[in-house]
Amino acid sequence: MRFELCLKLIEIVVMLLKKWGRYQARQELGNGYASKSPTEKIREFCELGVHGSSFAAEERNVPEYLELIDGRIAQLPQNYMTAIRVRFVLQVERGALCSFGFSSVAAFEICLEKAINALLG
């Protein structure tokens, strides 16, 4: 029973990391939850000044669970954060893992597994 519970928790963490990764990838492309593109915001800023638009309020429209996940990931060691980012945000091909500091696919998978377990604990 305990083993099954652990597997279920890992599945939930991976599901949440996938959602977090998709959100982060969209943010990097400028297609996040904000209703205006970065270019539109810059144009408004130039035309209206700082007080003409509410950049901070618009950008903070992030679901709370994504902020919580982001905070937990930020507390992890650097190599764990890199493994999570490579897997869930960048979705890097196995052959390109060396360019992110992993000596092999096995080393990456071990680091990723440790990172997920660290998020559980």
105 contacts 97 by C-beta, under 8 angstroms: yes
Residue 108: predicted pLDDT: 95
Q: pTM of the full predicted structure?
A: 0.72
Per the domain annotation, does 3 fall within a domain? yes
Asked if residue 2 is part of any domain, the answer here is yes
DSSP, collapsed to helix, strand or coil, labels residue 92 as coil
Is residue 98 assigned to a domain? yes
Long-range pairs of 19-22 with CB within 8 A, sequence gap ≥ 24: 19/66, 20/66, 20/69, 20/70, 20/73, 20/88, 21/84, 21/85, 21/87, 21/88, 21/89, 21/91
What's the CA gap between 70 and 99, in Å, rounded?
Answer: 24
DSSP letter string, 10-79: HHHHHHHHHHHHHHHHHHHHT-SS-SS-HHHHHHHHHHH-GGGS-HHHHHT---HHHHHHHHHHHTS-HH
Q: Which structural domain, as residue segments, surrounds residue 28?
A: 1-48+61-120
Distance of CA 101 to the CA centre of its chain: 19
Asked, for residue 27, whether it belongs to a domain, the answer is yes
Structural domain contains residue 53: no
pLDDT 10s digit of each residue in the chain, 121 long? 688 888 899 999 999 999 999 999 888 876 545 556 666 666 666 666 554 444 444 455 788 889 999 999 999 999 999 999 999 999 888 888 888 999 999 999 999 999 999 998 8
Is the residue at 19 inside a domain? yes
- What is the spatial distance between Cα 7 and Cα 13, in angstroms, rounded to a whole number? 10
Q: How many domains does the chain have?
A: 1
Residue 21 lies in a domain: yes
In a domain, 101, yes or no: yes
